Structure 1
Amino acid sequence: MHAPRISRPWEPGLFTRTPATEHYRVNGGGLTLVELDPGDTLQITDVEGLQPCEVMAFSARANPALAGLGLLAGSGCGFIQQTLAGNSRQVMRILQALTKRGFDTQRLPGAGMLWSFDSAAGYSRQFTLSEPLLLIIAAPAHATSVDAQQTPSELRIRLHRANPSVVHVPTLPEPLADLVDEFTLPAGSARSYTVGKGQYIQVIDVAGRQSSDFVALNRRDLDKGLEFDLDQTVTRTLNGNAYPAPGLFSKFFDRQMRPMLEVVRDTVGRHDAFALACTARYYESHGYFAHDNCSDNLSRALQAHGVQARSGWPAINFFFNTAIDAHQQMVMDEPWSRPGDYVLMRAMNDLICASSSCPDDIDPANGWNPTDIHIRVYADKERFSIAMANRKTADADPVLTQETAFHSRTSALTGSFTNYRNCWLPLRFDGFGAIDEYYGCRERVAVMDLTALRKFEILGPDAEALLQYCLTRDVRRLAVGQVVYSAMCHEHGGMLDDGTLLRLGPDNFRWICGEEYAGVWLREQAEKLGMKVWIKSASEKIHNLSVQGPLSRALLKQMIWTPATQPGLDALGWFRFLVGRLDGFDGCPVMVSRTGYTGELGYEVWCAPQDAEQVWDRIWALGQPLGIVPLGLEALDMLRIEAGLIFAGYEFNDQTDPFEAGIGFSVPLKSKTDDFIGREALLRRSAHPTHKLVGLTLQGNEVAHHGDGVYHGRAQVGVITSACRSPLLASNIALCRLDVAYAELGQALQVGKVDGVQKRIDATVCAPIFYDPDKSRVRA
């Protein structure tokens, strides 16, 4: 006899599994308002450590109430009052909430500290409330210089309700601005509404994992008896997509090719923009007759506007997790959306809209449990940043795409931006273009915003020991003032990330990489080992420009002042850094490292956000006589491919080891005798390699693309990881992960196009560094 088998998947962050528990996040340098009832349990956690926590408390009678938490007001606790004196949107909403509850915002009480400045990562305090309280919880921050490592970090709040709501629905997120209209769609219902040109529509998944079909018709045409609604084929064609795919387009069009909607924000990233809303026929085909369905619900909702009913509505199905598999079949699973996730759109014409809360309860489309959808409409006067969202971990809060501190300068030169590592970075610049920017870097000097790189401070007596265990390089050999490039691997040898490590002191390091999760992973390893070390996220507090090209030294030596204890810019060696100031003793602090991603002589300039515009302006002004160009990601891609520099998601992933990725030099298995994560797997993999990163030179003028198969006869023996048309070499080149049996220099192969068989491009194996293979320029 066997017990029944039970499905218990790990589902982090899903509200319906823990309806009595609420989670909140306090950003480093920010604050959050939380309301508590008697019996509620509050837990506040310092996620990264070394982050103080300041609290201001009020009772239901609008009196100071720190005593309810066993705290006293402290004389040095002024961060909350100082912040509330500002005029940000968050501050305005907190002050409005206090006023609404009868508090005098002109006479705020003193605050108290929950713990001191030396807290360990994961340190927390817990309270059970005996009376209702309103709390303002803050993670204080103060401006620091770029070489300081005292970066503010997040606090997490876990609130367990003693008497949770009978209806297991989480609290709606705060409105993004003043509302024109809002309403809730109960599960299985639909409603029509009118939206004016320029107004914004926010579709919110209240409890998570709930789909919502959306249709829109041109209101002016509808007044004439003409029905022009969203057209998926036109939209896909005008956006340049050959095949349907999950996700949203930046704009949606009607069949007259007129824009109807612009997507402004999306916190999920997974939607169905190519299939029909669910229909009666779908449920009937599964044996469920007379089942509610979105198409009929939408038809009924639009009937009052004279819209003809349809048995199947082409719709944007927000949050519906559908995909097209390798056999061109549509497949589905539970939505990616979490409680409070949303899509924000801007109407580009006067529209009649209809939204549904999908009633599908016969498959995973709504997590088997249909819930509510909430709609909000905002005025056309509002301005919202264009953004997507990223989650550091599965249960973390979404973080919207950020503008770097250099954005005011780069946006004055271009409107072509892309979301890279949750930051808006330029693709190309108006009046320049990728080719001009490329030659500007190869021949003169170029400047590029690379703030999207993730930065982590590793501090404490066990910092060196942790990094020695977590990185492939021998960190004990790294001197203060030196930089080293390293891989970071999983136990099985696959790469988690690559990056550069700076040693700022005996027990002070800065890890610079691309993967946001790297900080979480390092913290997890430190906790397992019981080490006394702190890993602090510093990405938002350190912004950086890459200054690359043969004239980069000539430019920077005019503006970087260093004290006698630091090397001058002229004397700065390859993979070294200095701490100096802009222009002189009284200038803003900067760090300069002799590093880059172009294969040219180059540097990276690091500064605090408040100094970013000043640093850009100085570089730009001094660069004019030298022919400086701004550098976008398109030109950077050509530069780094020519130099054989690898890129996450292309040359490596968690299934690729450093040897296969072409950076075996970063794994000194013979000279580094200390154990490190992945060592045993890498010893095994290096002894029996199966693939190798090589270069390919292609015949003719047709370009290969990432993912193209590489063939020897009928058999596929490799895959293109990156490719470009090299302006300087006047040929098409590619990096390729290739079976070692065919990796000999001069080996003739073919790149497969179309289906890999009908069209082939002849190619020859070469070294993966096409430009300056002995690195004489970068070492100059």
Structure 2
Amino acid sequence: MQAQALKRTPLYPLYAQHGAKVIDFGGWELPVQFSSIIEEHHTVRTKAGLFDVSHMGEVMIEGPDASAFVQSLITNDVTTLQTNQALYAAMCYPDGGTVDDLLVYKQGEQKFLLVINASNIDKDVDWIVSHAKGEVTVENVSEATAQLAIQGPLAEQVLQRLTATDLSQIRYFWFQQDVDVAGIKALVSRTGYTGEDGFELYVSAADAPSLWEKILAEGKADGVLPCGLGARDTLRFEARLPLYGQELGADITPLEAGIGFAVKLQKEQDFIGKEALQKQKAAGVPRKLVGVELIGRGIPRTGYPVFAQEAGEQDEPIGYITSGTQSPTLKKNLGLALIRAEYAAVDTPLAVEIRGKRVEAVTVKSPFYKR
């Protein structure tokens, strides 16, 4: 059997010029780093970094029943959106498990753009199409669409030099359509997945390489660097932003993952998974996502078992690490863990099993970092 070729974004031809180290990420050939993960991380926290996130999926839903259809798919309440406003939500299975987490952009009364995770594009599109009802069209525009993200405290001032549109007027989780950025038409959204201020720019795939080069050239004097998946992961981790396949999944509900703010159980229209989530909330969420700091030596990694500290050799784990690293900003060995709710209170002593040895740990407040 021939191995399936890795998918590439429109920016792939530019990676080598910028020194990218490329890896297989969920079937995509993407840069894990350009300079170093630590340098890129600190650059985003203190200046600004530019990310290629063109592997993300985009689905356009249009038609007279688009709003009602999107409302039936997602946990959040799309009726609260004005045109040019976005929200974060989950799509759920009937049992409350998570199909995906996503952004919903209201581009008009009958037009919604859904931004989904790269590893879930085919599955999500099938899910959306199979549940479509009413007068709607569903179009997967992922291949025609590229996405760049400029993130960090200098993001606005660097990007502002490339456009006549007043970026300060775009509030958090709002966007503008058809913005001219360095001669390229873009949807510019004040969103991102790093815990910093910044913008995500949606452009045609053909325009992406030119926009990438123009932003890097404009930001060079400000210290703007191209950034890879490694820094994207440590940045989102510190800000406690969930990653599908780790903090969220088919067996993890949005309530367990701590994104209950995006689950509107009181909204009038039913959505897939609503009943299961209502029951889970009423009974008490059985597991919770918590921050964990290692007191002993070691770094908590995805999948490591977590035990109550007084647990005996025969005791079952109370959960597991979903993500973990040595935090570049805080210089501490931190993890996110999905554990039984009765152990979730801050300052609860725990143990994380690292290569057969139990290492002392404690639950801590998260997000670990706030700007």
TM-score, normalized by length of structure 2? 0.94
Q: CA deviation at 1:652?
A: 1.4
Match of 1:464 in 2: 67
Q: Secondary structure at the match of 2:18?
A: coil
Contact 2:58/2:145 (8 A) holds in 1? yes
Q: CA deviation at 1:617?
A: 1.4
Q: Structure 2: which 5+ residue stretches go unaligned?
A: none
The 5 Å alignment of 1:331-350 reads: none
Match of 1:760 in 2: 358
Please tell me whether residue 663 in structure 1 is matched to residue 268 in structure 2. no
Residue type at the aligned position of 1:522: I
Match of 2:325 in 1: 724
Contact 2:179/2:188 (8 A) holds in 1? no
Q: Structure 1: which 5+ residue stretches go unaligned?
A: 1-203, 205-264, 268-386, 388-400, 563-567
Q: Secondary structure at the match of 1:555?
A: helix
Q: Secondary structure at the match of 2:169?
A: coil
Mapped to 1, the partners of 2:108 and 2:101 lie a distance apart of: 22
Query: Taking structure 1 as reference, are residues 701 and 754 closer, same or farther at Cα in structure 2, changes over 3 Å only?
Result: closer
Query: Taking structure 1 as reference, are residues 583 and 575 closer, same or farther at Cα in structure 2, changes over 3 Å only?
Result: closer
Q: CA deviation at 1:583?
A: 4.7
Residue type at the aligned position of 2:141: A
Match of 2:85 in 1: 482
Per-residue CA distance 1:461-485 (angstroms, 9 max, x = gap):
1111111101001111111000100
Match of 1:683 in 2: 278
Match of 1:521 in 2: 127
The 5 Å alignment of 1:734-749 reads: 734-749=335-350
- For residue 648 of structure 1, the aligned residue among 219, 228, 244 is 244
Higher helix share: 2
Mapped to 1, the partners of 2:323 and 2:206 lie a distance apart of: 36
Mapped to 2, the partners of 1:500 and 1:581 lie a distance apart of: 20
Residue type at the aligned position of 1:711: F
Query: Taking structure 1 as reference, are residues 506 and 421 closer, same or farther at Cα in structure 2, changes over 3 Å only?
Result: farther
Match of 2:229 in 1: 633
Please tell me whether residue 601 in structure 1 is matched to residue 197 in structure 2. yes
Question: Number of aligned pairs?
Answer: 362
- For residue 369 of structure 2, the aligned residue among 750, 764, 771 is 771
Q: CA deviation at 1:418?
A: 2.1
Q: CA deviation at 1:415?
A: 4.6
Match of 2:3 in 1: 266
Query: Taking structure 1 as reference, are residues 588 and 728 closer, same or farther at Cα in structure 2, changes over 3 Å only?
Result: closer
Q: Secondary structure at the match of 2:318?
A: strand
Q: CA deviation at 1:682?
A: 0.3
Per-residue CA distance 1:647-698 (angstroms, 9 max, x = gap):
111111111110111111111213x122111111000111221100000011
Contact 2:297/2:359 (8 A) holds in 1? no
Contact 2:290/2:344 (8 A) holds in 1? yes
Q: Percent identity?
A: 34
Please tell me whether residue 414 in structure 1 is matched to residue 19 in structure 2. yes
Contact 1:582/1:615 (8 A) holds in 2? no
Mapped to 1, the partners of 2:125 and 2:358 lie a distance apart of: 43
Match of 1:573 in 2: 171
Contact 1:422/1:452 (8 A) holds in 2? no
Q: Secondary structure at the match of 1:665?
A: helix
Mapped to 2, the partners of 1:740 and 1:700 lie a distance apart of: 23
Query: Taking structure 1 as reference, are residues 583 and 486 closer, same or farther at Cα in structure 2, changes over 3 Å only?
Result: closer
Mapped to 2, the partners of 1:771 and 1:519 lie a distance apart of: 34
Greater C-alpha radius of gyration: 1
Q: CA deviation at 1:742?
A: 0.6
Query: Taking structure 1 as reference, are residues 492 and 414 closer, same or farther at Cα in structure 2, changes over 3 Å only?
Result: same
Mapped to 1, the partners of 2:86 and 2:351 lie a distance apart of: 39
Per-residue CA distance 1:82-133 (angstroms, 9 max, x = gap):
xxxxxxxxxxxxxxxxxxxxxxxxxxxxxxxxxxxxxxxxxxxxxxxxxxxx
Mapped to 2, the partners of 1:597 and 1:455 lie a distance apart of: 16
Q: CA deviation at 1:512?
A: 0.2
Residue type at the aligned position of 1:673: E
The 5 Å alignment of 1:436-475 reads: 436-475=39-78
Mapped to 1, the partners of 2:181 and 2:198 lie a distance apart of: 19
Match of 1:403 in 2: 8
Q: CA deviation at 1:411?
A: 2.5
Match of 1:541 in 2: 144
Match of 1:145 in 2: none
Match of 1:80 in 2: none
Please tell me whether residue 696 in structure 1 is matched to residue 331 in structure 2. no
Match of 1:323 in 2: none
Mapped to 1, the partners of 2:154 and 2:298 lie a distance apart of: 33
Q: Secondary structure at the match of 1:520?
A: helix
Mapped to 1, the partners of 2:25 and 2:146 lie a distance apart of: 15
Q: CA RMSD in A?
A: 1.4
Residue type at the aligned position of 1:570: S
Query: Taking structure 1 as reference, are residues 556 and 415 closer, same or farther at Cα in structure 2, changes over 3 Å only?
Result: closer
Contact 2:296/2:361 (8 A) holds in 1? no
Q: CA deviation at 1:636?
A: 1.3
Q: CA deviation at 1:421?
A: 4.4
- For residue 32 of structure 2, the aligned residue among 394, 402, 427 is 427
Mapped to 1, the partners of 2:326 and 2:286 lie a distance apart of: 28
Q: CA deviation at 1:410?
A: 2.0
Residue type at the aligned position of 2:112: F
Mapped to 1, the partners of 2:110 and 2:235 lie a distance apart of: 35
Match of 1:550 in 2: 153
Q: CA deviation at 1:743?
A: 0.7
Mapped to 1, the partners of 2:353 and 2:200 lie a distance apart of: 39
Query: Taking structure 1 as reference, are residues 583 and 472 closer, same or farther at Cα in structure 2, changes over 3 Å only?
Result: closer
Query: Taking structure 1 as reference, are residues 419 and 599 closer, same or farther at Cα in structure 2, changes over 3 Å only?
Result: same
Per-residue CA distance 1:263-312 (angstroms, 9 max, x = gap):
xx603xxxxxxxxxxxxxxxxxxxxxxxxxxxxxxxxxxxxxxxxxxxxx
Mapped to 2, the partners of 1:415 and 1:552 lie a distance apart of: 22
Match of 1:129 in 2: none
Mapped to 1, the partners of 2:3 and 2:366 lie a distance apart of: 38
Contact 2:298/2:354 (8 A) holds in 1? no
Match of 1:614 in 2: 210
Residue type at the aligned position of 2:17: A
Contact 1:421/1:452 (8 A) holds in 2? no
Bigger RCO of structures 1 and 2 (CA < 8 A, at least 6 apart): 2
Residue type at the aligned position of 1:718: G
Mapped to 1, the partners of 2:177 and 2:195 lie a distance apart of: 24
Contact 2:306/2:352 (8 A) holds in 1? yes
Mapped to 2, the partners of 1:738 and 1:583 lie a distance apart of: 45
Of residues 515-524 and 738-747 in structure 1, the stretch that sits farther from structure 2 once superposed is 515-524
Mapped to 1, the partners of 2:31 and 2:343 lie a distance apart of: 38
Q: CA deviation at 1:408?
A: 2.1
Match of 1:673 in 2: 268
The 5 Å alignment of 1:187-206 reads: none
Query: Taking structure 1 as reference, are residues 762 and 593 closer, same or farther at Cα in structure 2, changes over 3 Å only?
Result: same
Contact 1:705/1:723 (8 A) holds in 2? yes
Mapped to 2, the partners of 1:496 and 1:760 lie a distance apart of: 33
Match of 1:188 in 2: none
Contact 1:561/1:582 (8 A) holds in 2? yes
The 5 Å alignment of 1:290-439 reads: 387=5, 401-429=6-34, 432-439=35-42
Q: Secondary structure at the match of 2:167?
A: coil
Q: Secondary structure at the match of 2:352?
A: strand
Per-residue CA distance 1:116-167 (angstroms, 9 max, x = gap):
xxxxxxxxxxxxxxxxxxxxxxxxxxxxxxxxxxxxxxxxxxxxxxxxxxxx
Match of 1:277 in 2: none
Q: CA deviation at 1:761?
A: 1.3
